[in-house]
Amino acid sequence: MTILHRRALFGAAAGLATAWAAPRTALAQAQPPSGPFRLPDLPYAFDANEAAIDARTMEIHWRFHHGAQVNALNAAVRDHSAIAAMPLDQILMNLNQVPEGVRTAVRNNGGGNANHTMFWTIMGGRGGEPTGELAQAIAQDFTDFATFRTRFNAAANGVFGSGWAFVTVNQAGRLAIVTKPGQDNPLMDGQRVLLGNDVWEHAYYLRYQNRRAEYTANWWNVLDWNRIAQRYAAAKAGTLGV
């Protein structure tokens, strides 16, 4: 009986270990939503961005930080059906229409949901430089890609405390670099986001500790310029959401 009991324990432990390890080698899938908003599936494995972000940070960031924001947003709009029925980008562009009692919760968690959804989408690539119309837009607004990257990193590294650095894009295809505190999003100012980097410490601390500049430098190595170019085209077409 003792031998069988130990074997059962070992088998259960092995099963848990396998279940815990599996998401690191497979596409990460979100849990079913308990409200109108959901944690989006990751389009790649947790270790897909190892050139800049370790798998454990990716998992914690996506599953627990972003997941908590989605849950909090659903809780905030639970009793406000008109707000819950709106697309997230429209909510953030019209925060003055959100009831005052939940406006801060919607701002923080809706902004965080939009920011992170964009963040996961633009990564999983091999870096390099953009081509085509996006490359031309960068040259037009920033002289060249090297200058663009330097200016963006300076903005990201200069964020005091927690926040984000973004590149905004208008329907004419013009680009600009902006920073936002906390989980604010340029949509709150009527601007669309081409790309952005999360400089909250939870985005990089396990690997880089206080070396934010090293993280922001490496982050370019995992950008997917094909997906970013799709966002650029959608912005010009007037169809880009979060």
227 within domain boundaries: yes
Tokens 């599953």 belong to 63
Residue 29: what pLDDT? 73
Total number of domains constituting the chain: 1
27 Cβ neighbours under 8 A, 6+ residues apart: 41, 42, 43, 44, 45
Is residue 192 within 8 A of residue 232, CB to CB? The reply is no
Query: Is 108 contained in some domain?
Result: yes
Q: Is residue 86 part of a domain?
A: yes
User: What is the reported pTM?
Assistant: 0.88
Give the model's pLDDT for residue 28.
73
Structure confidence at residue 50 (pLDDT) = 98
Q: What angle do CA 37, 114, 177 make, to 5 degrees?
A: 175
Beta bridge partners of 197: 165
Tokens 């989980």, located at residue: 183
In a domain, 5, yes or no: no
186 in Cβ contact with 193 (< 8 Å): yes
Residue 141: CATH number of its domain: 3.55.40.20
Domain that holds residue 141: 54-242
Angle between helices 225-237 and 132-142 (to 10 degrees): 80
In a domain, 61, yes or no: yes
How many secondary structure helices (H) and strands (E) does the chain include?
11, 3
Nearest to 241 by CA among 87, 36, 84: 87
Question: Is position 203 within any domain?
Answer: yes
Is residue 153 one of the residues assigned to a domain?
A: yes
Let me know if residue 233 belongs to a domain. yes
Output the pLDDT for position 34.
77
**Residues facing residue 123 across a β-bridge:** 223
Give the pairing of strands 175-181 and 163-169.
antiparallel
Give me the chain's average pLDDT, please. Answer: 90
Instruction: Please tell me the predicted confidence (pLDDT) of residue 33.
Output: 62
- Flag residues of the chain having pLDDT under 70: 1-26, 31-33
